[in-house]
Structure 1
């Protein structure tokens, strides 16, 4: 399970690290030569669509197909998607490859986590923690190795070789997965809550209708690259509103549970904003690197795909530090809204730092070392938001909607990804200094506002469960 998940994360982060540059680079440089607004729109929409697809995959793994089958099928589709990207040129190959990867990741990601839970279901709490620690280590390993190797391959042999690496790794992982399938618990091959026949027919009709609408929109020109991030953002907001409405209006939710979920809404929005700023490394910062950063180190050029790895690696490195600090502080540690506020202020200060650097080197290239510092400030801020949001969602979830609250937490990533595409398009419309000033002020203001209202939020957020 861990090896398959490693290659899924390798796929996602490796592709994200070079996607914008592939879209931006001229045809003579091996890219597609798209306008900047279109390039960041596609990049942001791709990230958002991957997270949205995971919600559909989680539902399918519970109601339609067994988790085991979905993980196997999802891995095959991911490998096919990367193969298409590796061998098929032009926008058509890009579109087919990205859609396959989105669908495959949606099928694999949540269901492989469910299977790990099935495997460890009868183990002690200590063994469960150890098992999930190995699994999470695989996630982090893939998140770092993806940009590291994909970026190097792209730098040495071109984009298509970089795209193909994940296909090779996923095929190897699938071979091991199939050989190990006999050790999986029976529950992994069962549909836990299958849809009744009548409901299944209704679901299929809805799916066919949705596919028809998407096809018509594509043929009519509504799904232009520049609009994709906005479309995914609106879709994510609608999905989030439906989830919150479903929970808050349910008769199975108590008054205290409803109060906790309501107080989570400002944190949901704050988290989405935070991830929109963090994922700007895939969009606006890619544009900055492309146009203004000197990546030369002597006779060697630093791979562009490694830029995002600096942020991811700093986040991974700081996670055990953050965990140790929270453990040592115990009950004295800041509560969720305070941590979110700190994360927003820190990432805002990161944009303030790059604003100063941009102004100092106005009209000239920015030395690479300053981008490294900026990426470390951004990546290390994630300890205040990412793991805290996931933990909070499990703490405050109503008993009848535990899975749905975890899904809502993942929607902050989907919304942040698509928002990063919109922020990237904003980058193309204003000066660099105006952009960085806007994001710095916005992030710090949002963090301070959240901090100012932390006490009433916490009173409702932890009502009935303590802190």
Structure 2
């Protein structure tokens, strides 16, 4: 496999000084994130829109819960998706197949055929993302086998910039979906993924064998056991679905609750398995205990942060003055505020962490993130009060301030979590721990979708205030244990701010 050094030495085509294979992966991820964030920006608005406006007319509580479990499952399937690539397909084919399935999902949603096509599309997007998301990052790392860490970190910084550029998709998908036709917006997301696939195939030769073969291909005996277990799981799932349908529990609400339970049960079970494993040493078990608390803090953070696509998006549509110079801006465009701030502040935070060095520990950064997310919801409570029960529209500056606080928290937690996951992972579970980290987002998003049901019962002011104060309190409690966590984990985190 050719490396960056050999590419430069031979005068080959480079991408900002990196092998051109990075450009192939950069644009694939950028277009996949374009499709993901584009859909995320309009999904809940489409679900609650009345049929007269071509929406599904779904109750707000149900729509928020469905959005929550959709985003949860996207991250939940990263763990099995990585396993499939490592043992069966290889990363390169997994990314290609995943992107194709994602495109089919968006195409299904682009068909104005009712709720059935919407649910089919969401399932396909979830399955496809599970194959693409974890494995494309793995391929970036493998492009730099034998290279120094500085070159690899520089590559990932460029790669994550592609994620942030792609997350500006609401400018296109949001406009088409809200101001023209919902299904045209979904179609635009499909086109974006199709463009990413085309350039991925055309640029495949620049990858030079990276990800062509599974890292640990199943033996014939393992393959037979895998097929047997898979068949049993599918059969059991079909039985559960049949029983639920027969008893009248196969509803959107029932499915979202079941998936939320799954999103909580799996990480709990996985941590229990690791704690009991004879392959984990006593010292690793102590570090794993510290990591479990950070995992809980991250799940709480994402529970609040990812409500941007649900409650905050609906608030923007109903209660924010979106008129700009006589033109009414689509509410989905407010979903661009966060990635724009990320792009503006990423370099600042990278400099700040290097400047502060060991003086600011992981626990302190996580606590700060929880306080920032909490304060953002306290501010949302004040903004909700300023609407006087929805009779007055407030300035867009309220949402900008809310997203600024949340982004400061994101930049303090998301890249730190990636770093601490690699440092605290037990040796026997090192290759699986990044998938475990994504389970924190999955659990937080699923629970957040269910918690959002309380908004109608509590009212906006009390809902945002209670959640905000709870998050602030959790951050302050975490501050009390900073010294203990610091002693267990050590210092010297090296970060590269990113979106997921």
**TM-score scaled by length of structure 1:** 0.94
* Partner of residue 431, structure 2: 403
Q: How does 1:183-194 map to 2 (within 5 A)?
A: 183-186=206-209, 188-194=211-217
Most deviating of 370-379 and 429-438: 370-379
Most deviating of 109-118 and 125-134: 125-134
Pick from 163, 188, 199 the counterpart of residue 225 of structure 2. Answer: 199
Q: Are the counterparts in 2 of residues 311 and 380 from structure 1 also a CA contact under 8 Å?
A: no
* Partner of residue 453, structure 1: 481
Q: Are the counterparts in 2 of residues 347 and 378 from structure 1 also a CA contact under 8 Å?
A: yes
Asked if 1:170 is matched to 2:201, the reply is no
* Partner of residue 278, structure 2: 251
Distance 2:244 2:78 in 1: 23
* Partner of residue 370, structure 1: 398
CA deviation profile, 1:432-453 (whole Å, cap 9, x unmatched): 1110221121011111111112
Asked if 1:62 is matched to 2:86, the reply is yes
Distance 1:265 1:11 in 2: 32
Q: Are the counterparts in 1 of residues 177 and 183 from structure 2 also a CA contact under 8 Å?
A: yes
1:461 is displaced (CA, Å) by 3.0
Distance 1:269 1:343 in 2: 13
Pick from 83, 87, 95 the counterpart of residue 71 of structure 1. Answer: 95
Q: How does 1:305-344 map to 2 (within 5 A)?
A: 305-332=332-359, 334-344=360-370
CA deviation profile, 1:414-447 (whole Å, cap 9, x unmatched): 1121122112211122111110221121011111
Q: Are the counterparts in 2 of residues 40 and 283 from structure 1 also a CA contact under 8 Å?
A: yes
Unpaired segments ≥5 residues, structure 2: 1-24, 494-500
1:96 is displaced (CA, Å) by 0.7
Distance 1:344 1:31 in 2: 35
Asked if 1:156 is matched to 2:179, the reply is yes
1:23 is displaced (CA, Å) by 0.4
Q: Are the counterparts in 1 of residues 358 and 492 from structure 2 also a CA contact under 8 Å?
A: no
CA gap of 1:213–1:3, structure 2 versus 1, over 3 A, is: farther
Pick from 132, 151, 166 the counterpart of residue 127 of structure 1. Answer: 151
Q: Are the counterparts in 1 of residues 357 and 492 from structure 2 also a CA contact under 8 Å?
A: no
Distance 2:29 2:240 in 1: 30
CA deviation profile, 1:331-387 (whole Å, cap 9, x unmatched): 22x111111111111121111122222223313223232222222222232111111
Pick from 164, 186, 197 the counterpart of residue 140 of structure 1. Answer: 164
1:323 is displaced (CA, Å) by 1.3
Q: How does 1:427-442 map to 2 (within 5 A)?
A: 427-442=455-470
CA gap of 1:222–1:167, structure 2 versus 1, over 3 A, is: same
Distance 1:73 1:48 in 2: 21
Pick from 93, 110, 131 the counterpart of residue 117 of structure 2. Answer: 93
Equivalent residues, number? 463
Distance 2:108 2:401 in 1: 36
CA gap of 1:242–1:316, structure 2 versus 1, over 3 A, is: farther
CA gap of 1:99–1:4, structure 2 versus 1, over 3 A, is: same
1:49 is displaced (CA, Å) by 0.8
Q: Are the counterparts in 2 of residues 36 and 287 from structure 1 also a CA contact under 8 Å?
A: no
Q: Are the counterparts in 1 of residues 34 and 193 from structure 2 also a CA contact under 8 Å?
A: no
CA gap of 1:313–1:391, structure 2 versus 1, over 3 A, is: same
- Which SS does the other structure have where 2:216 is aligned? coil
- Which SS does the other structure have where 1:189 is aligned? coil
Q: Are the counterparts in 2 of residues 229 and 419 from structure 1 also a CA contact under 8 Å?
A: no
Unpaired segments ≥5 residues, structure 1: none
- Which SS does the other structure have where 2:331 is aligned? coil
**TM-score scaled by length of structure 2:** 0.88
Distance 1:223 1:448 in 2: 41
Distance 1:187 1:249 in 2: 35
Asked if 1:25 is matched to 2:52, the reply is no
Distance 1:128 1:173 in 2: 23
Most deviating of 363-372 and 93-102: 363-372
The ranges of structure 1 where at least 4 consecutive aligned residues each deviate by more than 4 angstroms after the TM superposition are none
1:138 is displaced (CA, Å) by 1.1
Q: Are the counterparts in 2 of residues 396 and 461 from structure 1 also a CA contact under 8 Å?
A: yes
* Partner of residue 31, structure 2: 7
Pick from 139, 148, 157 the counterpart of residue 115 of structure 1. Answer: 139
- Which SS does the other structure have where 1:188 is aligned? coil
Most deviating of 311-320 and 40-49: 311-320
- Which SS does the other structure have where 1:222 is aligned? coil
Q: Are the counterparts in 2 of residues 48 and 417 from structure 1 also a CA contact under 8 Å?
A: yes
Q: Are the counterparts in 1 of residues 170 and 336 from structure 2 also a CA contact under 8 Å?
A: yes
* Partner of residue 321, structure 2: 294
Distance 1:262 1:18 in 2: 39
Q: Are the counterparts in 1 of residues 95 and 131 from structure 2 also a CA contact under 8 Å?
A: yes
1:168 is displaced (CA, Å) by 1.1
Pick from 362, 376, 383 the counterpart of residue 350 of structure 1. Answer: 376
- Relative to its length, the structure with more helix (as a share) is 1
1:114 is displaced (CA, Å) by 1.7
CA gap of 1:287–1:226, structure 2 versus 1, over 3 A, is: farther
1:389 is displaced (CA, Å) by 0.9
* Partner of residue 415, structure 1: 443
Q: How does 1:25-64 map to 2 (within 5 A)?
A: 25-64=49-88
CA gap of 1:222–1:59, structure 2 versus 1, over 3 A, is: farther
